[in-house]
Amino acid sequence: MEDIRHITAEQLTEFLLQNGEKKFRTAQIEEWLWKRGALTFGEMTNLSVALRQLLEQHFTFQRTAIERRVQSSDGTAKYLFTLHDGCQVEGVLIPSGQRVTACISSQVGCALKCAFCATGTLGFTRNLHFSEIFDQYMLMNREAEQLYGHAISNIVYMGMGEPLLNYENVMESVRLITAPAGPGLSPSRITLSTVGIAEGIRRLADDGFKPEVALSLHCADELKRSLRMPVTRSNNFAMLQDALRYLHEKTGKRITIEYLMLKGWNDSVEDARKLFRFCMPFPVKINLIEYNATDSGYEKSPEENVQRFVAFLESKNMVVNIRHSRGQDIDAACGQLAKKGETRL
Ligand code: SAH
C-alpha cells in the first residue's frame, strides 16, 4: 500500500471523488498530514469514521519513530530515528535563548567520505523521502515544545548526508515546512549546507531558492582540499565559484562559508589569504567551526592560530564568526553523527 503522503493533492481529490466523498476533504486531510503531523488515520477526528476506514483500507503511513534520545549537559538533544525499513538517521535540537535550531538529515549515511567527518565512514545507504525529512522536523518540534517550551525556530540541513545529492526530496521538504497551510516556517530561518555540488547550486539558483545556502569549504587550496574532500575532484573550484556567483546573481544571496579549523592543515595566514581569494567573486559570511573530535585523528586549531586567521580576514573587511560547538559530549556536534551513544529513552 502507498503512503498517503506520497500522492499529490490532486490524486487524493480524485480518489475521494471516486469514492463518493467531497472535494473539500482533501484540504482537511492535508492539514492533518502536513500541519498537525498525523501519523495515523484514527486521529483525523473531523473525518467521518467511514472515511477514516476507507483511507485505512487504501493507504498506509511509512512511520518514522524516535528510537533514542540523548541529552547533552548544554541542553542539546540528539535523536536517533528509525525509518519504516529499519534504516536509521540522526537529528539534533540545539536550544539557545528563545531559539531552537533543528539539524536534520537528508540521506541515510553519506557517499562523500570527507576525511574528518564521522558520517562518511558509514557509507551511503539511500536517500530520504521528503516525508522522512518532514518527520524529523515534526517529531523534533513536539520534543522542542516539551523540552524547551519553544517550537523549532530554525532548521539547518546539516545532519547526515549531502542535501544537493537528494535534490527533489530536500526541495519538497522545504516547500512543506514553509507552506502557509503547513508549519509556515520562514525560508530565511532555514539553511541548506552543501559540500559543494556545482550542478545542485545552479539548480537552486534556477529554482529561486529562498533559504540560506552554506558551503562547507574548509580549505581554499584546491589540491589540499581534494585530498581530504574527494568530491573536489568532480566539483573543482572553478565550477564551484561559477555556480556560487550564479546563485548570487540570481537570488542576491550572500553565501555562508563554513570553515573547519584543523591544526596545521588549513589554519595558517596563507590559508586565510587563499580563502579571501576564493571568496572574491561573491559576497560571503565566514563561519569558522571548531573541530569536533571523531575517530579520524585530526586536531583542532590552537586558539592563537584561530585568532591570526580571523585577524587576517578582518583586515580584508570580511565578516567572520567563530562557531563554538554544541553537544560534543554526546557526539551530536557537526561531523559526529554516526549513530553512537547508547542511552535509551
Ligand atoms: N553534506 C553537507 C551537510 C552536512 S553539514 C555539508 O557538507 O555541508 C555538517 C557540517 O559539519 C559540514 O560542514 C561538515 O564539513 C562539518 N564537519 C564534518 N566533520 C566535522 C567535525 N569533525 N567537526 C566539525 N565539523 C565537522
> pLDDT for 94-113, tens place per residue?
999 999 999 999 999 999 99
Binding site membership of 260 for ligand 1 (Cβ less than 6 Å): yes
Q: Which residue has the cell 567572520?
A: 320
Classify residue 223 by burial, with Cβ atoms within 10 Å: 0-12, 13-18, 19+. exposed
- Residue 38 amino acid letter: A
Which member of 90, 143, 162, 258 is catalytic?
Answer: 90
Nearest residue (by CA) to ligand 1, atom 9, is 158
Q: How far apart are CA 43 and CA 91, in angstroms?
A: 26
212-216 and 190-194 beta bridge pairing: parallel
Gyration radius (Cα) of the chain, Å: 21
Query: Length of the chain, please?
Result: 345
In the CATH hierarchy, which fold is given to the domain comprising 2-60? DNA polymerase; domain 1 (1.10.150)
pLDDT of res. 345: 37
Q: Phi and psi (nearest 5°) for 194?
A: -130, 150
Q: What is the DSSP letter of 41?
A: S
Binding site membership of 103 for ligand 1 (Cβ less than 6 Å): no
According to DSSP, the residues that pair with 214 across neighbouring strands are 193, 256
Q: In this structure, are residues 14 and 20 in contact, taking their beta carbons and an 8 Å threshold?
A: no
pLDDT of res. 249: 97
Q: Phi and psi (nearest 5°) for 165?
A: -95, 5
Binding site membership of 291 for ligand 1 (Cβ less than 6 Å): yes
Least confident range of 43-47, 106-110, 321-325 = 321-325
Instruction: Quote the ligand 1 centre to 216 CA distance (angstroms).
Output: 7
Question: What atom in ligand 1 is closest to the CA of residue 156?
Answer: 5
Indicate the Cα dihedral angle 230, 232, 234, 237, nearest 10°: -170
Nearest residue (by CA) to ligand 1, atom 11, is 334
According to DSSP, the residues that pair with 65 across neighbouring strands are 82
Q: How far apart are CA 312 and CA 262, in angstroms?
A: 17
H or E element in which residue 79 lies: strand 77-82
Confidence of residue 293 (pLDDT cuts 50, 70, 90): confident
Nearest residue (by CA) to ligand 1, atom 21, is 335
- Residue 72 reports pLDDT greater than 80: yes
Which member of 110, 114, 279, 334 is catalytic?
Answer: 334
**% of the chain at pLDDT higher than 70:** 98
Confidence of residue 327 (pLDDT cuts 50, 70, 90): confident
pLDDT of res. 263: 94
pLDDT tens readout for residues 177-193 = 999 999 999 999 999 99
* Domain ranges for the chain: 2-60, 65-330
* Mean pLDDT within 225-240: 98
Nearest residue (by CA) to ligand 1, atom 15, is 216
Judge whether 334 counts as a catalytic residue: yes
Binding site membership of 194 for ligand 1 (Cβ less than 6 Å): yes
Question: What atom in ligand 1 is closest to the CA of residue 161?
Answer: 1
Indicate the CATH number of 65-330 among 3.40.630.10, 3.20.20.70, 3.40.50.300, 3.40.50.450: 3.20.20.70
Q: How far apart are CA 112 and CA 195, in angstroms?
A: 9
